Structure 1
């Protein structure tokens, strides 16, 4: 598999974009004409710079509005194409992207359009160039790929073929069934982009909201599998218009882009292996493109632990909160002020060697049978590796750094298992003791705060490295602005993760306040809440108005409603089950604990309650139910 990226995906000057693409491991770039026009280097010098970096130029783009009903305009198009073919050859490519026309003078007759494309094919062939005709989803006449295929085929010129762009196909809701009768030599180029589901005109959707494969909602695995089955043998190339990407560090964006392609190729390869285990396509011919295979590792089993970083001055506050929740100090680390607090499978590591931090989630332990294999897979996905100091008697745990700086550590958890991370902890001097009655039993989910520009990057990182399935983005109203949230979960739902972007006004030292928390699961939320309160814990107060609305929405049993209200426990339900949960008063602007009980098959996170929770947190711990019933 060859990889390519359009320079429009990246921020910076053209030389900076080339350097970023090369550093991320791309084979080639599509040169976007505005990037070339603003560059001091000549096309030939751009070709040399790219070659010095190990890059080829896969495509020059775009050549717009190739057809016209006016003869004078047709002549101008021919002249323009001559010049652009010269540029393409100087850049070192023989391929020019030609977009379907979007102007009022576009040709509306297919035969006449095909004749003009044939004529342009003659011009291009004279320069040793081919034309990849692309149907823009907003084209005046040609706006879907089937139409572009018919017109390009009718042009009857070897220099005229098509470019398939996943956005232009999938944004319209089209499928790729029309590729079944395509001749492979007609598919000149493939461009890939994902996008979130949005109800808006396709042009602004395309110009501002595309994203890399895996960051949106399109079925790119099926799309690419069908294109390859049709015989396409060119590079997989990314063309993503995105406002955030164009303002971000190009090296980081290019790494995200390559990570997305490797994940996509791996998933396409897995689908093809299931569909055609002999290595041949449905037509009996061998697959034309060999896709890279990532190391095969068993899926993560569960959260092994969540680590909370705190300063020595604030560590007692975290310890007190965990004690109130019913956890007990069960171990001390062999090489520093790090403690293990646990109640069953609910394990929290308190790292008290981080100065100037009150409390925040700093590391996530992932329980897996094969830490080394999962680590090797993550490295193939370009995850930054963290080098940890390993002391005597300690386990070497493969560790990565997520985009927000949170560590992700792959480890075995069984206490009697060779290489278990629990061996790093010696029994607590006081013996720890059993967990308190009603204490949480496991880690249900973890929520991590993200900066706005890192939100999609983090989602791609976690879904690829941990093989998680992402949900759609949810937007919630908070008292200081909108909160964007996205949930990711393992296929068996034993690992759940929330990524939250809070309003910029709440940012604290580069991290978002009020968005990072640990959710612990329990068997009886009322018993856990009562025990927490009895040990001096403070539950976040919930306004009376919330419970009045709860009764109206769900027509709850009055006894249950009274229990919820008296304990400040929140409630949600769906067709599969119920969700009961309460929140502790925050230990810092960056950390608090949620306790949850899932009943039946409820798989959500109580999103309907998030706005109330955010408002209650904004009022501070002293605010209680201000509203009273009449």
Structure 2
């Protein structure tokens, strides 16, 4: 379907926004009135620029408080409307958004509101303009799209229809199913926004926390499916008020926004199945990953990481034939240590790889979504792996999981043992990866992992650490074998320029016996992250652990959690550069991450004191 975006969604001047939206691939834009008022260009110049950029000007917005008023006030509404209609004529626009009244003096009478919309429609028709009436979630009396539609029906004017906004409908918990009772030609415009699940007043929620589709908790695919079934033929437009998006790079945000609509169109098409509208653009088939294939640690000198891996029972499997890269493994867990083009860099998590059934399909999907590609030079007889670059700079590769797919490990001096073999460490596989995110890119990262890799949001947690609150969002594959935690750098560290060094990334490896692994690693000289005695005293109070078990956990530096499904044991290495390793044991059906232990770990790591 035709795509559009409100200029309020992104940063910059109105001219900047038009150029960015055109470059990102949008078909049209909504002109947010404050953007035009602040622009030095005349309406005619804006109209001409949009034409040169092949952008339609779809909606002028907003006109507020136009109905439910007394006659004296309505005379002022008509005077104001005439001025705006004349301005719209100069812009070449024919659709205006009128919001339901929020004023305390509003008259609670549908007949009054309908009569005034009808008279406003008469005036609009003189200019060839239509009115899209929208129920604001905080409207004084009209705060439900179903009541807005009743008023439009009563107005009974060809120039008066409804605007349906996903935020105003879904934030109030209104059932969108009744949308299908509205004739498609009476729906004049559709605005879309996602949002996180928050408990706060709806106006503040709307003004500061809207998100692009695929980044929040709303069922936008279901919402748009109802709209498509009505026969609506207008654009799908984004209207997202968000403090972050309005201060990030206008071009990058526009691309990010357009990607969200491409993902949503595909999701709606798949939701509708055989009933899907042919105008809905479908992407190549999703390719959910079946597991992690490798992680890559990059540094000018990776010897400290090599020592750590050896202490934990990993085995060096070989050196790359043409590059300063080595491969280590334990069980199915593979760690690539890369010293190429890494001058001056401390050890950090630079890349990860996932296994997928059909790599070509995933590559096609990533291209269709306009996701930035990661490029590395490959030589003859080397396997070229496709990858995307996440917003934080991490490269995410994918390899074929099916038998007979090319094996990149043959490029090393020695191949890996059979995947089922488990080394002396007892490590089985990579359990999860934790990526540190700049505050401005967390939402884009959620969209990328969901849209490209079909990962689903599993949980969202705020963890209190000594440097501030760490927001954590977990994305998982549907079978649970790929878990990626996205952790936002606390504001205090971001402002201090600490970046990742203030909040390191880490890789968690799953093992069969955390106690045995910790004992084994200690015999090889491993120094685990020290855990304070206060933690174990609290642990004794919370869980009925035997004294011997508790003493062993304390001696080995293992932390513990339990829920109704099972148990979870964790221990951590010290930080090397900007990365550390975690080793976990899952018992029963435990599927969490020991969130209650995270503040203890963050405090123990505290402000770089634990780095080696």
Q: Contact 2:409–2:415 at 8 Å: present in 1 too?
A: no
Find the counterpart in structure 1 of residue 320 from structure 2: 333
Alignment of 1:189-268 (within 5 A): 189-268=189-268
2:309 alignment partner, SS class = helix
Which segment drifts farther, 380-389 or 518-527?
Answer: 380-389
Residue 343 in structure 1 maps to residue 330 in structure 2: yes
How far apart in 2 are the matches of 1:128 and 1:420? 64
Alignment of 1:19-168 (within 5 A): 19-168=19-168
Q: Tell me by how many angstroms 1:331 deviates.
A: 1.9
How far apart in 2 are the matches of 1:68 and 1:228? 31
Kindly tell me: are residues 39 and 436 of structure 1, through their superposed partners in 2, closer, same or farther at Cα, counting changes over 3 Å?
same
Find the counterpart in structure 1 of residue 281 from structure 2: 292
Kindly tell me: are residues 510 and 563 of structure 1, through their superposed partners in 2, closer, same or farther at Cα, counting changes over 3 Å?
closer
1:103 alignment partner, SS class = coil
| Structure 1 residue runs without a partner (length 5+) | 280-286, 624-630
2:223 alignment partner, SS class = helix
Q: Contact 1:395–1:423 at 8 Å: present in 2 too?
A: no
How far apart in 1 are the matches of 2:607 and 2:375? 41
Find the counterpart in structure 2 of residue 489 from structure 1: 476
From 438, 461, 464, give the equivalent of 1:477.
464
1:89-148 residue CA offsets vs partner (Å, 9 max, x unmatched): 322221100000111222211111110010001011111010000000111111110110
Find the counterpart in structure 1 of residue 573 from structure 2: 584
How far apart in 1 are the matches of 2:376 and 2:298? 16
Q: Contact 1:500–1:515 at 8 Å: present in 2 too?
A: no
Q: Contact 2:210–2:240 at 8 Å: present in 1 too?
A: yes
Residue 318 in structure 1 maps to residue 274 in structure 2: no
Q: Tell me by how many angstroms 1:558 deviates.
A: 2.8
Q: Contact 1:501–1:512 at 8 Å: present in 2 too?
A: no
From 543, 551, 573, give the equivalent of 2:540.
551
Kindly tell me: are residues 441 and 106 of structure 1, through their superposed partners in 2, closer, same or farther at Cα, counting changes over 3 Å?
same
Q: Contact 1:305–1:349 at 8 Å: present in 2 too?
A: yes
Q: Contact 1:371–1:397 at 8 Å: present in 2 too?
A: no
How far apart in 2 are the matches of 1:288 and 1:610? 47
Q: Tell me by how many angstroms 1:297 deviates.
A: 4.5
1:207 alignment partner, SS class = helix
How far apart in 1 are the matches of 2:257 and 2:136? 23
Find the counterpart in structure 2 of residue 600 from structure 1: 588
Kindly tell me: are residues 26 and 132 of structure 1, through their superposed partners in 2, closer, same or farther at Cα, counting changes over 3 Å?
same
1:75 alignment partner, SS class = helix
1:312-364 residue CA offsets vs partner (Å, 9 max, x unmatched): 3xx11010011111111102112210011001211000001211122100011
**Runs of 4 or more above 6 Å deviation:** 619-623
1:253 alignment partner, SS class = helix
1:441 alignment partner, SS class = strand
**Cα RMSD after superposing both structures:** 1.8
| Structure 2 residue runs without a partner (length 5+) | none
Find the counterpart in structure 1 of residue 528 from structure 2: 539
Count of matched residue positions in the alignment of Structure 1 and Structure 2: 604
How far apart in 2 are the matches of 1:342 and 1:462? 26
Q: Tell me by how many angstroms 1:234 deviates.
A: 1.1
2:49 alignment partner, SS class = helix
2:86 alignment partner, SS class = helix
1:499 alignment partner, SS class = strand
How far apart in 2 are the matches of 1:179 and 1:45? 38
Q: Tell me by how many angstroms 1:577 deviates.
A: 1.6
Find the counterpart in structure 1 of residue 372 from structure 2: 384
Q: Contact 2:604–2:610 at 8 Å: present in 1 too?
A: no
2:440 alignment partner, SS class = helix
2:587 alignment partner, SS class = strand
Q: Contact 1:540–1:621 at 8 Å: present in 2 too?
A: no
Q: Tell me by how many angstroms 1:620 deviates.
A: 6.4
How far apart in 2 are the matches of 1:143 and 1:449? 40
How far apart in 1 are the matches of 2:66 and 2:251? 34
From 557, 571, 596, give the equivalent of 2:560.
571
1:526-578 residue CA offsets vs partner (Å, 9 max, x unmatched): 11111111111111111111111112222223332222222111111222221
How far apart in 1 are the matches of 2:45 and 2:233? 28
2:441 alignment partner, SS class = helix
How far apart in 1 are the matches of 2:440 and 2:610? 34
Find the counterpart in structure 2 of residue 371 from structure 1: 359
Q: Tell me by how many angstroms 1:29 deviates.
A: 0.3
Q: Contact 1:196–1:472 at 8 Å: present in 2 too?
A: no
Q: Normalising by structure 2, what TM-score?
A: 0.96
1:57 alignment partner, SS class = strand
